């Protein structure tokens, strides 16, 4: 489901008894900004080309893994010598969370049901505009998500559709592991592994991800995802996918699903421009 169709499918946010957020008129730029990130990670995988193409708005085209300049080393090793999966499309699902987030001119802190974390996420697919501009390979965002209805409401006022997710992290009884779980509609992504106490190393610059997508009113957006993490570690464990929507189908069909590494500490931001 594309971002443009997502808004119609989820409907408008219902009225909630809470103070109204200040909302500036839609302008040429918009920002989500985290300080003191406590968790940031992506799941990298490959999507069958027809399924990947269904997530794109008209005017965009997928980029096969063999031709994608920003392909991760893990996916590159997966397609070496594999002509079938070399034609599949790189994709990633990413999450950023922290104890507070600034959106526009508003500083948000979690409500009680959010378990102390402001969370944003997105599903991106390797793509470019069909007219060839810009010429660089980028990530087309099929869906954005958050666990905060206030962030969703203000962001949608900027003509950027955002869906809702539920996030939880629970200790697994009689072990030193945790279960990290994200629910998006009827899809459930979960990872069982050791978050606390694992060896960590100083993080190097993870680079910037360039996103493109079409918002409501057919507005073409770009977004830059950047961060300055302090620490990183790998995330060995068991990653599971449940559900029947396109995201779940794509993840289960992938020949590889790489969760991590995890980054934390320092700031992170998603900067939207037209």
pLDDT in tens, 155-187: 999 999 999 999 999 988 988 888 999 999 999
DSSP 157: T
Whole-number Å distance between alpha carbons of 207 and 211: 13
Fold entry, domain 28-165+201-235+244-273? Acetoacetate decarboxylase-like (2.40.400)
Could you read off the pLDDT of 118-156 as tens digits, one per residue? 999 999 999 988 876 655 668 999 999 999 999 999 999
Asked whether residue 29 carries a pLDDT value surpassing 80, the answer given is no
Sign of the C-alpha dihedral computed for residues 156, 159, 164 and 169 taken in this order = negative
| DSSP-assigned states of every residue in 40-89 | EEEEEEEE-HHHHHHTSPTTEEE--GGG-TT--HHHHHHHTT-HHHHTSE
Could you read off the pLDDT of 45-68 as tens digits, one per residue? 999 999 999 999 998 999 999 999
- Pairing, β 89-98 against β 39-47: antiparallel
**Domain extents in the chain:** 28-165+201-235+244-273
């Amino acid at each position: 489901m594309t971002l443009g169709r997502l808004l119609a499918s989820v409907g408008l946010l219902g009225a909630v008894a809470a103070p109204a957020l200040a909302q500036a008129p839609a302008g040429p730029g918009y920002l989500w900004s985290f300080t003191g990130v406590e968790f940031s990670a992506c799941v990298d995988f490959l999507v069958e080309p027809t399924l990947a193409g269904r997530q794109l708005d008209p005017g965009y085209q997928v980029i096969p893994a063999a031709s994608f300049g920003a392909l991760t080393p893990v996916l590159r090793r997966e397609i070496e010598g594999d002509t079938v999966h070399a034609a599949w499309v790189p994709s990633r699902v990413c999450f950023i969370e922290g104890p507070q987030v600034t959106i526009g001119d508003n500083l948000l802190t979690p409500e009680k049901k959010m378990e102390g974390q402001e969370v944003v996420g997105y599903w991106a697919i390797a793509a470019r505009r069909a007219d060839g501009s810009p010429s660089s390979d980028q990530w087309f965002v099929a869906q954005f998500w958050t666990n905060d209805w206030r962030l969703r409401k203000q962001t949608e006022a900027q003509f950027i559709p955002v869906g809702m997710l539920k996030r939880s992290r629970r200790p697994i009884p009689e072990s030193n592991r945790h279960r990290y779980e994200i629910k998006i509609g009827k899809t459930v992504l979960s990872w069982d592994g050791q978050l606390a106490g694992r060896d960590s190393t100083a993080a190097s610059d993870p680079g910037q991800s360039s996103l493109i997508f079409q918002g409501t009113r057919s507005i073409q957006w770009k977004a830059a995802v950047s961060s300055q993490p302090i620490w990183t570690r790998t995330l060995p464990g068991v990653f599971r996918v449940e559900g029947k929507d396109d995201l779940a189908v794509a993840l289960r069909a992938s020949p590889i699903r790489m969760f991590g590494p995890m980054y934390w500490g320092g700031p992170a931001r998603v900067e939207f421009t037209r």
